[in-house]
Structure 1
Amino acid sequence: MNLQDALLVSVAAVDHSRMRPEVQAFVVNGPLPDWEADGEEIDRRCDQLDAIAKPVTGEEAQALVGCFGPDDCYGVAWALLHLIETGPNPVLTSEPAPDANEWQHTLWARIVNSGLAPLTLTSKPIGVSGAIGLVIGAWRAWSDRWRVLGLAIRP
């Protein structure tokens, strides 16, 4: 069982009655869909995320960490990450396992970069090249989506 599966099991086992209904609804729907999902599903999850008022509580942030999907879901994962960061920090207190979701690793790197957690021998802060890689990856994702929709993208 990887870290994301363990988080989902722990999220399901925890009493979420103190969480706001909007957060409960988002968490119950599980991880974000991947790029292969239809636009309606992505829009629905986007609307759910937009309905959550900032800041989130520590309990809500912990539950939301388990909602990252396999990719950036056309930028929705970034919105989720930023929402999680509005809660008490650090939401992660230890480095994710090597097989954990890439978004949990990104969240951990941001925690380390901000000085909220110590840099360990295995944790790698996101430097300039890492940030550039994330921007290029997001550009490619959007450009692929637009191409599917029949829109021409020129860099």
Structure 2
Amino acid sequence: MYQPTSPTGHANDCIARTLAHAVECADKPRHQIAREVGMHRETLLRVLRGERPIGLDEAARILVACGASPRATLVLALTGQEDLACEWMRTEMGEFLEEFISALPAHLERTLGRRVEDVRPRWANGTSQLVARMLAKHIDDFVGRDLAMSLSR
């Protein structure tokens, strides 16, 4: 008989696969990562295989030891974006997302104030598209200015 996977089990599997990728691509051996995290090497292997549940704090420590952006990587993995989590974990995009995720709540609170209660969940997708377009325009403007400065020399 089919037994559905619990959301917790699925989340653990996503995190395990993402951590396995981080450890594989790290510039240091597994035993060193385990030591830095304060975990036995065999325990780390069980975590990476998804055989041992892992807490978010342990997962974040493993990602830091591997040189990855922990918050951004975990958010992407847990929201079904494992491929992006693995692709961005050691890039400037990962660092950007790390800072963005950390800064956004305070800026929303400060900017919206009491209107935070008026925000509707259905606006999230459109707002994320707007932010992405604004960021793309900012990059285009920055590249344009940089190119104009180099041509004027």
What's the TM-score once normalised by structure 2's chain length?
0.25
Q: Comparing both chains, which one has the higher relative contact order based on Cα–Cα distances under 8 Å and sequence gaps of 6 or more?
A: 1
The structure carrying a bigger helix percent of its residues is: 2
Please tell me whether Structure 1 or Structure 2 has the larger radius of gyration of its CA atoms.
2
